[in-house]
Amino acid sequence: MVKCAVLGCGLMGCKIAGELARQGHRVKMTDSNAEVLNSAYQRMEEDKQELLREGLLMQGAFPGQVLCLSRLEETVSDAEFIFEAVHDNLDTKSDLLEKVSHVCQPEAVISTNTLHLDVNEVFARCAKRERCLGLRFLFPVYYIPEVEINPSRDTSSSTTERVRCLLEDMGKTLFFRSGGNPLILTEEQREERRRVVLEQLHRSSGFGRAEQANSVPALGWGGGGGGGGYHHSQQLHQVHQVQQQQLQQLLQQQQSECAICLDRARDCLLSPCHHLALCCTCAQLLHSRRDFCPVCRQPIQDVIKVYHT
């Protein structure tokens, strides 16, 4: 399990968070718009139902947990990978990521999901810019294995390698942007990719991680060259199938520790939703500031202590 944070609960942010959780990672989300944040839970429930019908989800819940938090600092404090997916505006992204770079872990990888902005400008005011890079998932995220990577001039090779390992373990294929032209799929191309993924799934016996024959691009700058500048090394990339026992072990681990501090045991119920997700210390903190349940985003009216026997 990798600890991830997603900034922005719009259409793309929710899809990225859902895909990370579908692969077993723990995800914390936040959004500056409270209405958008509070609606993220319902939109992800709709995604789960679609994935369940398509056979991309083996049960009614993601293996990884998704939490929606009101405060940026709590969202990114322990994250190993941070995925920013807010409005594609330079000032908005720059201001947000500058703050994030000072409150997150010093080794956390910070990525921006941008279509047209210069990543060097986006990260210009960030601390430790060598761990920052552009990373763009293609829509619809659950069905498209390709992910565009766009390093800045400061991005270190170790950062690129960490991202490669994370995404390839999820069954994704990295390709490097060439010049200033992002890859944008047409509606027909999206539907074709979706059809291929579902066909591969139905031919396999996996639990949502179907065998995929992808073109895995070589890690290196993609400038110049033919074919639109996208360099692909042809090799067969077979994704590991998730075993039922491994999923159950992961779920049991996540269901025992506090979803906020990830340290103390869950020992209280939130009222009125009755979610058992937090330790009393963290629950009382959220209650005192009139915050919401991080699981379903209902207001916390009371905290009920639970005693385990």
Three-state helix/strand/coil letters over 104-165: CCCCCEEEECCCCCCHHHHCCCCCCHHHEEEEEECCCCCCCCEEEEEECCCCCHHHHHHHHH
Instruction: Check whether 39 has a pLDDT greater than 70.
Output: yes
The whole-chain average pLDDT of the chain stands at 83
Q: What is the pLDDT of residue 237?
A: 37
Interatomic CA distance for residues 282 and 77, integer angstroms: 14
Please, what is the Cα angle at 150 between 146 and 151, to 5 degrees?
Answer: 135
pLDDT of residue 216: 36
Q: DSSP string spanning 73-90? A: HHHHTT-SEEEE---S-H
Residue 284: per-residue pLDDT? 92
The Cα–Cα gap between 301 and 295 comes to 15
Domain with CATH 3.40.50.720 in the chain: 3-182
Beta bridge partners of 28: 5, 67
What is the CA 72 to chain-centroid distance, rounded?
15
Segment 103-115 mean pLDDT: 96
Beta-strand runs (E) in the chain: 3-7, 26-30, 66-68, 81-84, 109-112, 132-137, 146-151, 173-176, 215-216, 233-234, 268-271, 302-305
Sign of the dihedral through C-alpha 264, 105, 248, 39: positive
Query: Pairing mode, if any, of strands 302-305 and 268-271?
Result: antiparallel
Instruction: Find the helix packing angle between 11-22 and 34-54, rounded to 10°.
Output: 50
pTM (global) more than 0.85: no
Nearest in space to 146 (alpha carbons), one of 237, 44, 62: 237
CA distance 297 to 37: 8
The CATH number given to 254-308 is 3.30.40.10
Query: What are the tens digits of pLDDT across the range 127-179?
Result: 999 999 999 999 889 988 889 999 999 999 999 999 999 999 998 988 887 76
- What's residue 309's pLDDT? 64
Q: Do 24 and 250 touch, CB atoms closer than 8 A?
A: yes
Considering the chain, what percentage of its residues have pLDDT values greater than 70? 82
Q: What percent of the chain has pLDDT over 90?
A: 54
Of 69-73, 226-230, 264-268, where does mean pLDDT reach its minimum?
226-230
The second-level CATH assignment, the architecture, of 3-182 is 3-Layer(aba) Sandwich (3.40)
Structural Rg of the chain based on CA atoms: 20
Res 220: pLDDT: 38
Distance of CA 124 to the CA centre of its chain: 23
Q: Can you tell me the distance from the alpha carbon of 12 to that of 138, in angstroms, rounded to the nearest whole number?
A: 9
- For 202-240, how does the pLDDT look when each residue is reduced to its tens digit (9 = 90+)? 776 444 443 443 433 343 333 333 343 333 333 333 333
pLDDT, residue 211, reads 40
Handedness of CA 94, 95, 98, 101 (dihedral sign): negative
Among candidate residues 147, 96, 157, 156, the one with its CA nearest the CA of residue 123: 96
* CATH code 3.30.40.10 region(s) in the chain: 254-308
How far is CA 226 from each of CA 181, 182, 185, rounded to the nearest angstrom?
Answer: 14, 15, 19
Quote the Cα angle for 290-72-162, to 5°: 145
**Confidence bin at 253 (pLDDT 50/70/90):** low
Cα distance between residue 34 and residue 16, in whole Å: 19
